Amino acid sequence: MVRSSSLGYPRIGADREWKKALETFWSGKLEEAEFTARLQEIRLSHLKKQQLKGIDWIPVNDFSFYDHMLDTAAMFGIVPKRFAYEGGRVPLSVYYAMARGTQGAAACEMTKWFNTNYHYIVPELSDAAPALTENRPLAAYKEAKEALGIEGKPVLVGLLTFLKLSKGYDAAGIDAWIERLLPLYVQVVQELEREGVQWVQIDEPILVTSVSDQDIIRLKTIYEKLAEGAPKLKIMLQTYFEAVDSYEEIVKLPVDGIGLDFVHGGNGNLAALTKHGFPAGKLLGAGVIDGRGIWRADLEQKLDLMGQLADKVGYDRIIVQSSCSLLHVPVTAERETQLAPELRNALAFADEKLDEIVLLAGAAASGASAAAAFAGQKEALRKLQQSPARSREDVQQAVSLMAAQSAARASSFKERHSIQLQKWQLPLLPTTTIGSFPQSAEVRQARQNWRKGDWSAERYSDYIKEQIGIWIELQAEIGLDVLVHGEFERTDMVEYFGEKLAGFAFTRNGWVQSYGSRCVKPPIIYGDVAFTSPMTVEETVYAQSLTDKPVKGMLTGPITILNWSFVREDITREQVAYQIAYALRLEVEALEKAGIGMIQVDEPALREGLPLKEEEHESYLDWAVKAFKLATCTVADSTQIHTHMCYCEFHDMIDAIKELDADVISIETSRSHGEMIHSFEENTYDLGIGLGVYDIHSPRVPPVEEMSDMIDRALQVLNPALFWINPDCGLKTRGREETETSLRHMVEATRLARAKYSIAD
C-alpha cells in the first residue's frame, strides 16, 4: 500500500480569514475567547479539507497563531526578560509582543526561513529558563481526533534546527543547550506516546545545509534519547528544500522514517539513495510534488520517479508527499477563472497539490497508469509551453546582446562620489527613507474604486498626486534631506512592476504568508519579460516638481522581482533575471532622462535566493550581482544609484554587496539589534551605506536615545562621510502618527550625531 501525506497546509485561508482575525484581534475589536474560537474554526476547516481529499497522514500543529518557530519558543518558555514573562503558559499578549514589539520592548528579530520568502521569529536563548509550558503537538492531535476523528501526525521543529536558527549563545554553548532542551523534547514525545499517537513528524531542514561531523554526533544523541524515551512512537525525520549532505549517517539515525525532497535537490537525494541504498524497516517520505512552485506536475514523470524509488525501497515503504510544507503556495487555483486558459490549466496551488499527491499514490498503489488524469496534466503543460508569450525573439535577442556586454559603471565609486558630492551638496549624515509611506484604508479604498471602475483614471491619478503632495510637504517639514514620493499608487513592490511588464500574470486570490499577518500575492512569470512603457516616471517627476530637495526614483530590483514571483521552469532563473534586468534598465534610463538623479533599485531578496549549498553560492551571486549591475550600469556618473536589503543574514555576502557597486546601500540592522554592525567591524566597507536605525515592522516608536546609540555604534566602524541615516525598511504598513513621530526622532538623533561627528572637508 502506498500512502499519502502532507507536510503542512497554508494557515491564511482561501479568503485570508486567518489574517483578518489576527488584525481584528490586534486592533482590540475582538475578545481573546472569540479570537481563539475563530482560529480553531479555521484550523479545523483546513484539516477537514485534507481529510475529504483522502490524505492518509494529515499534519497537525502545523497551524500557528503567528509563526512555528515562535510557537516552539513559547512552548518551552523561551521568552526574553524584557517581555516580563513570569512563567507558565505564555499569554497571547506576551506571544504577540515577542513578534511585534511593544512601546517598552523591542520585538524579537525576524529573518528568512532558509531560502524562502517566509520570515520566522528568531528565538533568543541568552536569558531563558526553559520548561515545557504546554504540549502544543499533543493539544493539536487531541483536537483533530476529538473534533474530526482524524488520527493526525503531529509536527514539531527538531531540536538541532531550533538551536541552529536561534540566537543568544556562542557556538561552543550548543551542547549545553541540547542538554537543557532535550529532556523537554523527550517529555513532549512521551506525552504523545501515552496519548496513543502513532507517528510524529520532526522537521530538521537544517540537515540540507552544511552540517559538521560534530552535528551528526549531536543528532545521534538527540534521536537516541527520543527513541529511548518513547519507544512505541514512530518518528518521521523530515528534511526539505535541498538534498541532505550526510545521507549515510542520517538514514542510520534511530528513527522510523526519513523524509527527503526529490524536487529541490532531488538529484542529490536520488543519487545518494542509489549509491548507498535505504535501510530496511524504515519508511521513505518521498517529496515528489513541489511544495514551493505553482505549476502542475507531470505525473507520468513523477510516477517514473516513484518507480525508481520503489526499485530501491519498495512501494510498501513509500509515503507520497509534497517536497515541503504547502505554506509557501496559495490555497487554491479554483477561483482563478480570469486567467488565460493555457495558464490557468497549468496551475496547481495547495489544494490541487493535495489532489496530485492522492492521485499519484493511488496510481503507484494500483499499478495503473491513471492515463486520463496524467494525460490531462501533460497536455496543460504542453499548451503553456507553446504560448506565444514564451517565444518573443525581440526580447531574447536584446537580452542576449546585453548579457554579453560589460556590466560595469563608466567610472569607479571614488570618482562618482566626488561628482555626486558636488552635485547634491548634502549635509553630513544625510537622512532619507526607504521608499513607501503609510497606505491608509482611504488609499486602499481609492485604488479599489479605480480598479472597479467607480473612479476614472484621471480621478485616481489626482488622488495619488494629492497624497504625494501631502507627504512631500511633511518630509520637508520634518527635515529629511532626500525625499521619496511615497508609492501610494503601488499595491506591492513586485506586483506593481509585474503589472506593467509583459510576461507576467496575476491571480485574484493567490496569497501566501510572508510574516505574521502580512500576506503577499506573488506575480506569475510565465512568459518572456518585456518593458512596454515607463512605470514610475510620472509620479516621481511630479513629486520632484514640488520640492527643491532631491527625490529618489524607486524601483524593485531584478533579483527581488525574480525571487518574490512564481517563476516559469522552462528556462533558467538566470535567464529570467537578465530579462527583468533589461526591462528595468530601460526604466532607469527613462527616469534619468526625465531629470531624476537619484534612483533606488531595491534588492531585499538578494540574500534570500542564495542556494543552501555553499558550493553553489559563487555561481548564484555572480549572475545575481550581474543582473543588478546590468540594470543600473548605463547611467551617468552624477546619477546616484541606491539599493536596499533587509531581514536576512548578510554577514556571509559582504563581498557580493560591494560588488553591486551601488553608490548607497541601506541595510536593516535594528530588528537584529545592531548585529549587522558586527560584520562591518570585521570587514571594511568603503561605499555609501545606511544602516536602519529603527524597526518599521513594529508599531513601537523608538526614543531618540535608542537611535543615537545605533548611530554611534555604526560610526565606530563606518566612515561618517559615507554614512546615511534611514529606517530599516519601507513604511507602508505603519500608521501616520507613529511614522511621523519616529521620523522626527530619527532627524533629531541625526542632528545630535552631526554635532558629534562633524568633520572638516
Annotated ligand binding at 193? The verdict is no
Task: Say how far apart CA 733 and CA 718 lie, in whole Å.
Answer: 30
C-alpha cell at 677: 554592525
Residue with cell 519507544: 231
* Cβ proximity of 694 and 743 under 8 Å: no
Annotated ligand binding at 538? The verdict is no
Could you tell me which of 526, 645, 502, 642 has the C-alpha nearest to residue 586?
Answer: 502
Amino acid at 474: L
- Residue 170 sits at φ, ψ, to 5 deg, of -90, 165
C-alpha cell at 166: 536561534
C-alpha cell at 67: 509563526
Annotated ligand binding at 644? The verdict is yes
The 3-class secondary structure across 120-187, one letter per residue, is EECCECCCCCCCCCCCHHHHHHHHHHHHHCCCCEEEEECHHHHHHCCECCCHHHHHHHHHHHHHHHHH
Task: Say how far apart CA 233 and CA 257 lie, in whole Å.
Answer: 12
> Which long-range contacts does 160-164 make (Cβ < 8 Å, 24+ apart)?
160/204, 160/206, 160/207, 160/215, 160/218, 160/219, 160/222, 161/203, 161/204, 161/205, 161/206, 161/207, 162/69, 162/72, 162/123, 163/125, 164/206
Annotated ligand binding at 250? The verdict is no
C-alpha triplet 391, 392, 394: angle, nearest 5°: 145
C-alpha cell at 648: 536576512
C-alpha cell at 728: 530599516
What number of other Cβ atoms are within 10 A of residue 311's Cβ? 10
Annotated ligand binding at 324? The verdict is no
Residue 167: alpha-carbon gap to chain centroid:
19
Task: Say how far apart CA 356 and CA 593 lie, in whole Å.
Answer: 51
List Cα–Cα distances, 108 to 81, 99, 723, in angstroms. 12, 6, 26
Could you tell me which of 608, 676, 671, 649 has the C-alpha nearest to residue 109?
Answer: 671
Task: Say how far apart CA 141 and CA 294 lie, in whole Å.
Answer: 29
Annotated ligand binding at 518? The verdict is yes
Annotated ligand binding at 17? The verdict is yes
**Residue 404: partners with Cβ closer than 8 Å, 6 or more residues away:** none
C-alpha triplet 713, 718, 720: angle, nearest 5°: 95
Annotated ligand binding at 15? The verdict is no
**Residue 222: partners with Cβ closer than 8 Å, 6 or more residues away:** 158, 159, 160, 178, 182, 185
Q: Which of 119, 417, 697, 745 is catalytic?
A: 697
**Among positive and negative, which fits the CA dihedral 446, 448, 449, 451?**
positive
Could you tell me which of 124, 226, 220, 234 has the C-alpha nearest to residue 168?
Answer: 124
Annotated ligand binding at 633? The verdict is no
Annotated ligand binding at 516? The verdict is no
What number of other Cβ atoms are within 10 A of residue 379's Cβ? 12
Task: Say how far apart CA 696 and CA 521 lie, in whole Å.
Answer: 21
Annotated ligand binding at 108? The verdict is no
Task: Say how far apart CA 436 and CA 471 lie, in whole Å.
Answer: 10
Task: Say how far apart CA 189 and CA 254 lie, in whole Å.
Answer: 14
Annotated ligand binding at 435? The verdict is yes
Task: Say how far apart CA 392 and CA 388 lie, in whole Å.
Answer: 7
Strand stretches in 367-511, DSSP E: 501-505
Could you tell me which of 20, 37, 140 has the C-alpha nearest to residue 511?
Answer: 20
642 among known catalytic residues: no
* Cβ proximity of 233 and 141 under 8 Å: no
- Residue 357 sits at φ, ψ, to 5 deg, of -60, -45
Give catalytic residue positions: 697
Please give the annotated binding residues for L-homocysteine, written as ranges: 434-436, 487, 602
Please give the annotated binding residues for Zn(2+), written as ranges: 644, 646, 668, 729
Please give the annotated binding residues, written as ranges: 16-19, 112, 434-436, 487, 518-519, 564, 602, 608, 644, 646, 668, 729
Please give the annotated binding residues for L-methionine, written as ranges: 434-436, 487, 602
Please give the annotated binding residues for 5-methyltetrahydropteroyltri-L-glutamate, written as ranges: 16-19, 112, 518-519, 564, 608
